[in-house]
Amino acid sequence: MATHALSPAAVAGYRGGLYEWLTTTDHKKIGILYVINSFLFFLIGGIFALLVRAELAAPGLQLFQNEHVYNESFTIHATVMIFLFIIPMLAGLGNFAVPLMIGAPDMAFPRINALSFWMLPLGGILLLMGFLTPGGAAAAGWTSYPPLAGNSPLASPGPGQDLWIASLVLIGTSSILGGINFLVTIFKMRAPGMTLFRMPIMVWTVLVTSILVVMATPVITSAIVMLYIDRNLGGSFFNPESGGIAVLYQNVFWFYSHPAVYVMVLPAMGVISEVLPVFSRKPLFGYKAFVFATAGIGALGFSVWAHHMFTTGAVFLPFFSLMTFLIAVPTGVKMFNWVFTMFRGQLTFSTPLLFAVGFLTMFLIGGINGAFSASVPVDFALHDTYWVVAHLHYVLFGGSAFGVFAGIYYWFPKMTGRMLDEGLGKVQFVLMFIGFNLTFFPMHILGVKGMPRRIADYASGAGWNDWNLVATIGGFLIGLSMLPFIWNVFVSLRNGKVAGNDPWEGNTLEWATTSPPPPYNFDRLPEIRSERPLFDARHGLVGHGEPEPGPALLEQPAPSGEVPAAPDDEAGVGEQTTTGEDLETKR
């Protein structure tokens, strides 16, 4: 496999100046902007998390002057982590990788793609501006249940809650536009020969995720718009004093928010499904079973929302309990597929694989404690305790965040042409893995001991002191783990080892072009005969293992105004001999 890097002129053109980055419609640059923006908000959300954990390290108020400031902190922490870190970070990885993986020159609607991104920082700024308003930021939790978020005397005072609503409307609109863009791109812009069942699993997970986003996001948008009307225009959708139904909000909110769990998890599963085969030197076990399991999770995701509401009394308990247990089946299929992919493989424990294995173990624990909560009697006992906080974080941090870092370490060479340092990467993984379990595993015990969520203080005789202190130490260890990562990125961008086109010997099309790719992605593609086109090209395979003299290449049409260069006899699969600087200038 050729490992020639892109010419210095082309790399400079790809990096571009500030104006080019701010006005780009190139899906690769937009994907990187998503990643940078999401990581910055991850740091902001992490700071709020550390403030919350510092407050709970011991009984009494340590940091906050009153409980309202504590409520603001955990509300903004959760909102930022879900809507401004996990969802857009995975969308950013998809933005970068999906067009490359299907052999497309860009997303279907490049300008809408740029618009989708720029709504995110604006939404984040609106959310944080709540701290500058009278009454402070939103303080009703990330769920913003009425009456706490409505127009009752208990509601959050001031415009901070309204800014929360405006922020989520912007972020939701961004998600809908991005979802439509992904759907059209995947269905209409695949390379010749790439049928649906030759698409990489990452593309399948983004496809199902996009369907969930387009179907579910308008639902929560309607809920929070009705909440705004209740707060400011005299509405009574959710105010019982005026004939409204508060539980209606919960139904509408969770009809979005449980599918949103899979919006946050499925793309991470896609990342893991690309990393494990490459570092196991084996094909993904049960490709079609994995595809059907992904689709099954997406379909069943709309049938379990009310398991968040067992204690309200307004729920048909047997049905939603059964469906919650049932959704574990396709997830279990995936887990076995991942394990059998690694079984007897030639494992290379590079940093992407470490984070992938971290995903498997942490997500497994999150699934097991979720199955406990699917049992109605158990849920009645543990609802609104720290058990639920532990479950949420084992799924969304142990799952999604570990998947995110696996993807960053895996695709960073393709994004930048440089390798991240393996030593620093492993230091980050060890600190993050230990810190994560120190933080969230004790919360299972706190939940069983009856510690409720969303409290700023607790009695010293409740038996919660020691476990809260352990959780706080673990939280700061997670924060510490970000320092080697940040240092790694800055050092590697300047002095990192040159990656070449295919440093991991990958299986999918993004490794058939240069690192970083030119603006139009490809001028040649290997012929696509399976879901592993680069493996086939590298080994000269046809159909079911029949040898061919060499990797067949498909000429890609040149972008408008470009003339493809003549093939170089010594060029590897997908090596570029033109810089594409003129096209990048147009972007």
Q: How many CB atoms lie within 10 A of CB 351?
A: 25
Structure tokens at 206: 């983004």
55 close to 61: Cβ distance less than 8 angstroms? yes
What tokens does 48 get?
């709020």
Cis peptide before 88 (omega within 30 of 0): no
Contacts of residue 488, Cβ cutoff 8 Å, sequence gap at least 6: 420, 421, 424, 425, 428
Token pair recorded at residue 327: 């959704």
- Number of Cβ within 10 Å of residue 63's Cβ equals 15
Phi-psi region of 313 (alpha: psi -120 to 50; beta: other; left: phi over 0): left
| Of residues 401, 311, 320, 324, the one with CA closest to residue 356 | 401
Nearest Cα residue to 113 out of 208, 181, 38: 181
Q: What is the mean pLDDT of residues 150-177?
A: 88
Please check whether residue 578 lies inside any domain of the structure: no
Per-residue confidence band for 559, with pLDDT thresholds at 50, 70 and 90: very low
Report residue 525: phi and psi, to 5°: -130, 145
Q: What is the predicted pLDDT for the residue at 4?
A: 43
39 - beta bridge partners?
none
Percentage of the chain exceeding pLDDT 90 = 76
Distance of CA 585 to the CA centre of its chain: 31
Q: How many CB atoms neighbour CB 514 within 10 A?
A: 29
Q: Which domain does 152 fall in, by range?
A: 8-495
β partners of residue 452: 385
What is the distance, to the nearest Å, from the Cα of residue 90 to the centroid of all Cα atoms in its chain? 3
Asked if residue 541 lies in contact with residue 498, where contact means CB atoms within 8 angstroms, the answer is no
Is there a contact between 277 and 341 (Cβ–Cβ < 8 Å)?
Answer: yes
**Where residue 399 sits, what CATH number does that domain have?**
1.20.210.10
Burial 191-227 (b: 16+ CB within 10 A, else e): beebeeebbbbbbbbbbbbbbbbbbbbebbbebbebb
**SS3 state of residue 273:** helix
Supply the pLDDT for residue 70: 94
Contact 414, 515 (CB under 8 A): yes
Q: What tens digit of pLDDT does each residue of 44-61 get?
A: 999 999 999 999 999 988
pLDDT on residue 178: 97
Residue 503 located in a structural domain: no
- Between residues 10 and 193, the one the model is more confident about: 193
Q: Does 574 reside within a domain? A: no
In angstroms, what CA-CA distances link 205 with 31, 55, 200, 233, 444? Answer: 17, 38, 9, 40, 30
Confidence class for position 154, pLDDT limits 50, 70, 90: low
Q: How far apart are CA 323 and CA 305, in angstroms?
A: 10
The 10s digit of each residue's pLDDT in 241-288 is 888 898 999 999 999 999 999 999 999 999 999 999 999 999 999 999
Asked if the structure places residue 500 within a domain, the reply is no
Q: What is the pLDDT of residue 63?
A: 86
pLDDT tens string 169-196: 999 999 999 999 999 999 999 999 999 9
Residue 541's pLDDT band (cuts 50, 70, 90): low
CB of 369 closer than 8 Å to CB of 448: no
418 pairs with which residues across the strands? 498
Residue 579 inside a domain? The answer is no
- pLDDT value at 585 more than 60: no
Residues 533, 536, 541, 545: what is their CA dihedral angle, to the nearest 10 degrees?
-90
Domain membership flag for residue 79: yes
Residue 433: its H or E element:
helix 422-448
Q: Is residue 182 part of a domain?
A: yes
% of residues, the chain, pLDDT over 70: 89
Q: How many domains does the chain have?
A: 1
Among 342, 193, 365, which residue's Cα sits nearest to residue 273?
342
pLDDT band at 539 (very low <50, low <70, confident <90, very high): confident
158 in a structural domain = yes
C-beta of residue 348 within 8 angstroms of C-beta of residue 279 = yes
